[in-house]
Structure formats: structure tokens, C-alpha cells
């Protein structure tokens, strides 16, 4: 009953052309054109309110673009089940009465179809996903009992159970301590082997440079998009961050005033 569009494998996994989004007269995204290759890891970097969440929601098919189009393997996002959207942790009701396994099983809802209960195959998917993110021991925990890093792993497991081929992660590292951040990043490295394409919104330029294939600098428009060493130049960063960025003379060391406030990115539903 639920739709599932077939993939045209000769088309890119994500192809965005001339995408423009406006809310109440304000421009959130302006004329974005880019495409991703299978298995790539992309960091989307930009100040708060730059349109990162909006971009992810349009790609996921949650919001409709005003102008331009988004194609996943050659067709609109709305027909695809292969897009995993991982919300910011501050957007989730952690007191909801569900266990970790329940949440991961939600990723199977569509494949199961209406009026079907999980079969053994679905539990295998859930267990395998929990193993991949290394939280099998937490399967029956209530979700409020997880640490920030474990919460993030649970959502990645959910996207894996969904059999997502394109994962959109909205600031997965924000608010995590350094070991947890490293854990998530190395998990993303491992996902590359499973040929999952990953787009991650982040504030951390250092991590963006070391853990991702390409970086998109976003501030309503695409300021720059390419390999880390092509993108991370002072003038690009100044363009993206404006006055909030203070370059340290002569080197590529940068300080940002604007960083890591959880949850005040551009949320529009």
C-alpha cells in the first residue's frame, strides 16, 4: 500500500537543481544546485539559521520546494523509503514510553506495510542494526535512560533498519562529549563500507575536514562545495559566517563565536 519508487541506478543518489525555499517572505535556501555520489560522506557546515535543517527536510521530502527540484535516483523524494532523517536530539520527546528496540523497529513500519506485525526477518534487521552501532545491550532500555551518544546511535540503527541509503543527520555531534563524537564519527566511517551516503550538518570545521569526503559551506546559498582543502579557505569562511568569524592571522585557524547552541537552527514544520 505504501509507495516505493524504483531506483534508476544510472541517476545520482541525490540531485538538487535550482532549489529555492521561502518562509513568510524570508529566503531560507536560494538557488542550490549540487549532486552527490553513492557512498559519499558530506559535511554541511554553516551558521545557525543558514538553512541546513530546511535543506535536509526538502531532501527528505518533508517539505516541498518553492522553486527547483530534488531527485533521488531520478525521481522525487516523496516516493522513496530509502531516506533516513535523523533529527536533532533536542527535537525528540525522550519521555515517550518506548524502548530502544521499539524505536529501531519503527524504521521497519513502511516495509512491513499496514496491518502487519514484525516478522523474524524484521527482528533480524533490528538486531543487526543494534549490533552495527554497538548498543545491543541497551535494546530493552527506555530511551530516556540513554546517554547523548547512545541516543544518536539508536537513531542511526533506526535508519539502518529502515534500509536507508541516504542518511541525513541534523547536528548529530552537537552537545556530545569528545569521546562520543569520535565514536559516532568512526561509526560513520564504517557505514561507508555498507555504501550508505551520509549528509551531516555540523559546526565543527576540524571534524568536517578530517572525516568527510566533501564539505558544503552553506549560508542560504552554497558558498563553496568540494574537497576540504578546496573549501576551507578564509575568504570562503568569511563569506559563510560573516562577522561572526575571526580569522587568526596568516593561518587557517579560525575561531567561531557562533557554535553549538542546541536546537535553535531554522525549524519550520
Partner 1 sequence: MTILINLLLQPLQYEFMQRGMLAAVLVGIVCAVVGTYVVLRGMAFFGDALAHTILPGIALGYLVSGGARDTLFWWALGTSIVAALGIGAISKNSQIKEDTAIGIIFAGMFALGIALISTVRSYAVDLSHFLFGDVLSVSTQSLWLILIFGGLVLLIVFAFYKEFMTLSFDPILATTLRLPVSLLNNLLLTLIAVTVAVSLQTVGVALMVAMLVTPAATAYLLTHRLSHMMLIAAIFASLSGIIGLYLSFYLSIASGAAIVLTATVFFMIAFGWKRLKGT
Site for partner 1 contains 79 (CB under 8 A): yes
Q: Which of 17, 27, 92, 139 contacts partner 1 by CB under 8 A?
A: 92
Q: Site map for partner 1, 95-124, x if CB under 8 A?
A: -xxxx--xx-xxx-xx-x-xx-xx------
In whole angstroms, how close is the CB of 248 to partner 1 at the nearest point?
39
Site for partner 1 contains 228 (CB under 8 A): no
In whole angstroms, how close is the CB of 262 to partner 1 at the nearest point?
17
Q: With beta carbons less than 8 A apart as the criterion, state whether 105 and 126 touch.
A: yes
Say whether 141 sits in a helix, a strand or coil: coil
From the list 33-41, 60-68, 126-134, 255-263, the region that binds partner 1 by CB under 8 A is 60-68
What are the b/e assignments for 41-67, b being 16+ CB within 10 Å? Answer: bbbbbbbbbbbbbbbbbbbbbebebee
CA distance 143 to 154: 9
What angle (nearest 5°) sits at the alpha carbon of residue 64, between those of residues 34 and 37?
25
CA 247 to chain centre: 28
CA distance 184 to 138: 17
Binding residues among 17-56 for partner 1 as defined by CB under 8 A: none
For every residue of 83-127, which 3-state class applies, written as one string? Answer: EEEECCHHHCCCCCCCEHHHHHHHCCHHHHCCCCCCCHHHHHHHH
- Closer residue to partner 1, CB minimum distance, 44 or 63: 63
Q: With beta carbons less than 8 A apart as the criterion, state whether 83 and 77 touch.
A: yes
Q: How many residues does the chain have?
A: 269
Site for partner 1 contains 4 (CB under 8 A): yes
Q: Which of 52, 158, 211, 214 contacts partner 1 by CB under 8 A?
A: 158
In whole angstroms, how close is the CB of 170 to partner 1 at the nearest point?
10
In whole angstroms, how close is the CB of 216 to partner 1 at the nearest point?
21
Place of cell 568527510: 212
- Closer residue to partner 1, CB minimum distance, 158 or 214: 158
- Closer residue to partner 1, CB minimum distance, 1 or 243: 1
- Closer residue to partner 1, CB minimum distance, 98 or 256: 98
In whole angstroms, how close is the CB of 1 to partner 1 at the nearest point?
8
Cβ count within 10 A of residue 180: 19
- Closer residue to partner 1, CB minimum distance, 81 or 254: 81
Contacts to partner 1 by CB under 8 A = 2-4, 57, 60-62, 78-81, 83-85, 87, 92-93, 96-99, 102-103, 105-107, 109-110, 112, 114-115, 117-118, 142, 144, 158, 162
Amino acid at each position: 500500500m505504501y509507495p516505493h519508487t524504483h531506483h534508476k541506478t544510472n541517476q545520482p543518489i541525490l540531485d538538487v537543481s535550482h532549489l529555492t525555499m521561502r518562509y513568510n517572505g524570508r529566503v531560507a535556501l536560494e538557488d542550490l544546485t549540487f549532486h552527490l555520489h553513492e557512498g559519499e560522506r558530506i559535511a554541511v557546515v554553516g551558521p545557525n539559521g543558514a538553512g541546513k535543517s530546511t535543506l535536509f527536510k526538502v531532501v527528505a521530502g518533508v517539505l516541498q520546494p518553492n522553486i527547483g527540484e530534488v531527485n533521488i535516483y531520478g525521481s522525487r523524494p516523496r516516493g522513496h523509503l530509502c531516506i533516513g532523517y535523523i533529527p536533532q536530539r533536542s527535537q525528540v520527546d525522550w519521555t515517550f514510553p518506548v524502548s530502544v528496540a521499539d524505536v529501531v523497529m519503527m524504521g521497519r513500519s513502511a516495509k512491513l506495510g499496514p496491518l502487519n506485525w514484525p516478522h523474524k526477518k524484521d527482528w533480524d534487521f533490528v538486531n543487526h542494526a543494534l549490533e552495527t552501532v554497538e548498543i545491543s545491550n541497551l535494546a530493552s532500555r527506555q530511551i530516556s535512560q540513554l546517554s547523548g551518544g547512545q541516543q544518536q546511535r539508536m537513531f542511526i540503527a533506526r535508519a539502518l533498519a529502515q534500509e536507508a541509503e541516504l542518511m541525513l543527520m541534523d547536528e548529530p555531534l552537537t552537545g556530545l562529549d569528545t569521546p562520543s563524537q569520535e565514536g559516532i564519527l568512526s561509526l560513520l566511517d564504517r557505514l561507508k563500507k555498507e555504501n550508505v551516503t551520509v549528509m551531516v550538518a555540523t559546526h565543527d570545521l576540524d571534524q568536517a575536514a578530517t572525516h568527510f569526503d566533501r564539505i558544503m559551506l552553506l549560508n542560504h546559498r552554497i558558498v563553496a562545495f568540494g574537497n576540504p582543502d578546496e573549501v576551507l579557505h578564509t575568504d570562503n569562511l568569511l563569506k559563510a559566517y560573516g562577522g561572526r568569524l575571526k580569522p587568526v592571522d596568516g593561518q587557517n585557524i579560525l575561531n567561531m563565536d557562533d557554535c553549538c547552541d542546541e536546537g535553535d537552527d531554522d525549524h519550520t514544520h
